Amino acid sequence: MQLQYTDQQNEFRQTVRDWLEAHVPQKTLPSLDTEQGFELHRDWERTLKSGDWGMVTWPKEYGGRACDLIEWLIFEEEYYRAGAPLRVSQNGIFLLGPTLMEFGSDEQKQRFLPPMAAGDEIWAQAWSEPNAGSDMAAIRSKAERISEHGKDYYLLNGQKTWSSRAVFADWAFGIFRTDPDSSRHKGLSFVLFPLDTPGITIRPILQLDGDPGFAEIFFDDVKVSVDNLLGEEGQGWQIAMATAGFERGLMLRSPARFQRTAQRLIGLYERYKDSLSSGVREKITQAYMDAEAYCMNTYYTASRLMAGGKIGAEASCNKIFWSELDRSMHRTAMSIIGAQAELVETVPEAVDEGIWLDGYMFSLAGPIYAGSNEIQRNIISERVLGLPRP
Amino acid sequence: MKFAHTQDQLDLRDGAREYLRGRCTVEQLRDLKDNNNAELGIWSELAEQGLLAYLVSEERGGLAMDQVGFALIAEEAGYVALPEPFVDVAGVCAPALEGLNGTASDIVENLVAGGQRVRSLHSANPYLNQLAQGDQLLLTGADSVRLLAPDGYQSKAVESIDPLRRLHVITVEPDVGSELLHGADAAEFAESMFNHGALFTAAELLGITAAMIDMATAYAKERKQFGNVIGSYQAVKHHLASAFVALEFARPVVYRASAELAAQSDKATLSIAHAKVAAGNAAINAAEVAIQIYGGMGYTFEVDLHLWMKRAWALVGQWGSSHHHMNKIESGIFSDTAIGPAQTFAQNN
C-alpha cells in the first residue's frame, strides 16, 4: 500500500493547477440550467478543450489525455480546489461517453466522442417516462424500423421525461421499445438522436429553483437513421444498465466535490460559531470524516480497477453514500445560516452568493436521480447480500 | 499511489482466515460460554501458525510484516469473535517491546514462540481483558513505562456483559518493576501504543460488523413470516443494505490508517482516530440492525448474535471512546487549514 504520489503524479497535479489558475473564470457563472448560463458553461467546455482537459481519461484520438484513474482523481481534486464551473456536458462525458467506448462502433466513436469532449455537442438523457421511473422496464416509447428510398430509419413515438437540460442540449440518448410485442427488459434498444429533429417537441419543466433544468420530450413520428442505434437491437436494457453503472460508479461524483463542500462548511461554521449550539461542531466533524471516507473508498476502488478489477453492485453503495452525505452537509449549512437561509442568490445578503440554498436543493435530488436510493438498497441486498427478490 | 494490499498480505490474511474460522467456531464459543471458560486454549497454536510473529523482526523469529497486513489479520480475529487476547499481545505489545532496547526486547522472542505473554496496561483501558496467570504487564503511563512481572501487581475480577471477556482491575504499588522508559520517551511510547491499539481494535470491529451482517442476512433468508422469507421484504433489505454501506465506507478508512501508521506519517494519529470512529459506528449500527432482524430471538441467548454484539459494545470503548477520537479530529480540522480536495494525503503541497 503506497499512499504517496509519484513525482510524475505531482508534476501532473502542478500542470493542472497552473492551467486552471490561468483559465478558471473569476466570476461564478450563472446557473447552467438557464439559457445564458448554459451557453457560458459551453464556452467553458471549449476553453477546457483548448487545453486538452475535456475528458482526461479518454484516449487521445477522442480528445482525451489517456490518463489513468489516479490522474483523473488528481485532476478532479484540482478542478474543485480551483472552484471551476460545473460540467454542463456531464450526461455526455460521464455517462454516454464510457457507454460508447464499450458498445459503440468505430464510426460512432469517431463521430460522437470528439465533439462531446469539446463541448460542441452537449447531450441529454432520455430514459424515464411518466409511467417508467424507478420501474424503468415499463418503458413504452417506441422505435419502429422503416425503409424509405432504400434507407433504414427508426420512427420514434412516445414521451420521455426528467431530461436534464434537454431544452438547451444538442443531442439525446434514450431507450425505446423496438419490438412491439416485447415486455419489460426485452425488446428495448438504445438510440441516439439530435434534439432538433422534426417531430420532437420539448417542454421545459421548472425545477425547485425556478429554472428550466428538466424537460419532457414528445416524439411524433421522429425519423432517425438506424446508424444511431447503439449496440444491437434488443440490447438496450443491458447497455442502459452499463450506463447506469457509470452513473452510480466512480465518474459522476468525484470525492473532491464533497471534500470541497466539507471544507466550505468548516469555514461557514467558523464565521457563525458564536451563535450555534455545540452539536453543530460534531455534525461538521462527521461531514469532514464522511467526505474523507468517500475519498478513501474512491482511491481504493480506483486502485482495484487499475489492477484489472471490475466495478459491480458496489456502485450502488457509492451512490447512496455521496448523495446522503451531500444532503446532510447542506442541511447542516442551512441550519447554520438561519434567517438568511431562504435568501435567493441575487439578494446581496445571501450567504456565500446563495450556494448553500442552491446546494441544498440540488442535494435533495441526489437520493432520487441515477436510480433512487431505495432502488440502490434493493440492488445491494439482492445482488451483494443475495436476498431474494419479492 | 497504490491503495491496495500486496498479494503477500492477502495470502497471509487468507491463511489466517482459514485457520481462525476452523478453530474458533460458533459451537466452540457457545461451549466456552456454557462451561464458564474464558479462552479457547489455542495460544500455542496461534504461535505455531505464526500469528504472533507478524509485527516482529526476522532476527527475533518474526515475519517482519507491517501494520497494513496485521490490520487484515485483526479483522479476521474480529470476524470469528476470537476470545484470546491476540490483538493485544501480537498487535500492540510485541511491536512496542521490540522498539525497546535491552532485555525488554528479548522477551519478544519468547512471546513469538508462544511463551510468557505480555499484556498492555494503558490508562485508556481501565479493565484488562483475558488476564491469565503468569502474564507480564507493560504498564504505560504518560511519563513512565514499566514492565511488571506476574508478582508485581494485584488483580480483581469484574464482570463484563460479554461472556467471553474476563476483566480484571489491576492495582500496582508505586515504583514496582523495571522502568524501561521515562519522560518524553515514555509519552511517545504511550502514544504509539495507543495508536496501535486503536487501529487494530478498529480493524477487529470491521470483522465483527461483517460477521453480524452475514448472520442477520442468513437469518433473513430462512425466517418466514406472512408466507415469505423476511429477507424478501424491502424494510428488512434496506436495513441490511444500509449496514453494508456503512461497513464498505469504514473499511478503506481503516486501511488508510494502517498505511499511515506503517509509514509513520504525520497524519497517522488523525487517520487512526477516524478509523476508530468509523469502524465503531459501523459496528454499533450493524448490531442494532441485526438484532432488529432477529426480532425476539435476537434478545436471547438462543441465537449467537449476542456474542458479537456485546464484543462490539466492549471494543467501541477500548483504546479511546468515539468521543475521544472525535475530539482529536475536531481539533485537527478546526485548526489546520490544510484540508479539502488535494490535501487528502500528506504529500501534497
Decide if B258 is inside a domain.
yes
pLDDT tier at B336, thresholds 50, 70, 90 = low
Q: What is the pLDDT of residues B124-162, one digit of tens each?
A: 999 999 999 999 999 998 899 999 999 999 999 999 999
Kindly compute the dihedral angle of the four CA atoms of residues A35, A36, A38, A40, in this order, to the nearest 10 degrees.
Answer: 170
Query: Which residues in A lie closer than 8 A to residue B267 (C-beta atoms)?
Result: none
Query: Which residues in A lie closer than 8 A to residue B259 (C-beta atoms)?
Result: 1-3
pLDDT tier at A25, thresholds 50, 70, 90 = very high
To 5 degrees, how large is the angle CA B94–CA B87–CA B217? 160
B342:A81 CB<8 A: yes
**Sequence-distant (≥ 6) Cβ neighbours of residue A13 within 8 angstroms:** A5, A74, A77, A78, B342, B348
Give the domain extent around B192. 186-333
Cell 459506528 belongs to residue? B281
pLDDT tier at B342, thresholds 50, 70, 90 = confident
Q: What is the pLDDT of residues B63-85, one digit of tens each?
A: 999 999 999 999 999 999 999 99
Mean pLDDT for A238-247 is 85
Measured distance CA(A1)–CA(B27) in Å, rounded = 36
B75 phi, psi to nearest 5 deg: -60, -40
Decide if B18 is inside a domain.
no
Is the pLDDT score of B348 beyond 60? no
B333:A285 CB<8 A: yes
Q: Closest Cα to residue A180, out of A158, A199, A204?
A: A158
Mean pLDDT for A235-257 is 86
Domains and CATH numbers, chain A: 7-88 (no CATH), 124-238 (2.40.110.10), 249-384 (1.20.140.10)
To 5 degrees, how large is the angle CA B116–CA B117–CA B120? 150
Which CATH number fits the domain that encloses residue B261? 1.20.140.10
pLDDT tier at B108, thresholds 50, 70, 90 = very high
B258:A1 CB<8 A: yes
Decide if B158 is inside a domain.
no
State the pLDDT at residue B338: 75
State whether residue A376 sits within 8 Å of chain B by CB. yes
Q: Which of B84-88, B179-183, B309-313 has the lowest mean pLDDT?
A: B179-183
Mean pLDDT of chain B: 94
Q: Which three cell numbers stand for residue A371?
A: 436510480
Q: Which three cell numbers stand for residue A358?
A: 442552491
Helices (H) and strands (E) in chain A, counts: 12, 8
**Cβ atoms A164, A129 nearer than 8 A:** no
End-to-end CA distance of chain A: 42
Nearest-CA distance B188 → chain A (Å): 24
| Count of domains for chain B | 1
A387:B231 CB<8 A: yes
State the pLDDT at residue B349: 36
Give the B window 197-256 contacts with A, CB below 8 Å: 213, 217, 220-221, 228-229, 231-234, 236-238, 240-242, 244-245, 248-253, 255-256
Q: What is the pLDDT of residues A301-322, one digit of tens each?
A: 999 999 988 888 888 999 999 9
Catalytic residues of A: 247
Q: Beta A123-126 vs A171-177: how paired, if at all?
A: parallel
| DSSP string for B38-91 | ---S-HHHHHHTTTTSTTS-GGGT-----HHHHHHHHHHHHHTT--S-HIIIII
Give the B window 54-93 contacts with A, CB below 8 Å: 68
The full length of chain B comes to 349
Is the pLDDT score of B103 beyond 80? no
Mean pLDDT for A109-132 is 96
State the pLDDT at residue B337: 64
pLDDT tier at B343, thresholds 50, 70, 90 = confident
Residue type present at position A340: Q
Kindly compute the dihedral angle of the four CA atoms of residues A347, A352, A355, A361, in this order, to the nearest 10 degrees.
Answer: -70
Q: Beta B118-122 vs A171-177: how paired, if at all?
A: unpaired
Nearest-CA distance B218 → chain A (Å): 9
Q: Which three cell numbers stand for residue A56?
A: 482526461
Per-residue DSSP letter, A129: B
| DSSP string for B312-334 | HHHHHTTTS-HHHHHHHHHHHHT
Decide if B193 is inside a domain.
yes
**Rounded percentage of chain A residues whose pLDDT exceeds 70:** 100
Q: Closest Cα to residue B276, out of B327, B328, B209, B202?
A: B202
State the pLDDT at residue B183: 95
Closest chain A residue by Cα to residue B323? A282
Interface predicted TM-score (ipTM): 0.95
Per-residue DSSP letter, A130: T
Decide if B230 is inside a domain.
yes
State whether residue A168 sits within 8 Å of chain B by CB. no
Is the pLDDT score of A81 beyond 80? yes
Measured distance CA(A135)–CA(A153) in Å, rounded = 28
Decide if B203 is inside a domain.
yes
Is the pLDDT score of B278 beyond 90? yes
Decide if B138 is inside a domain.
no
B116 phi, psi to nearest 5 deg: -55, 130
**Cβ atoms B293, B240 nearer than 8 A:** yes
B99 phi, psi to nearest 5 deg: -70, -10
pLDDT tier at B211, thresholds 50, 70, 90 = very high
Q: Is A191 left (phi over 0), alpha (psi -120 to 50) or beta?
A: beta
State the pLDDT at residue A390: 86
Measured distance CA(B95)–CA(B207) in Å, rounded = 22
Mean pLDDT for A247-254 is 79
| DSSP string for A353-364 | GGHHHHHHHHHH
Is the pLDDT score of A246 beyond 80? no
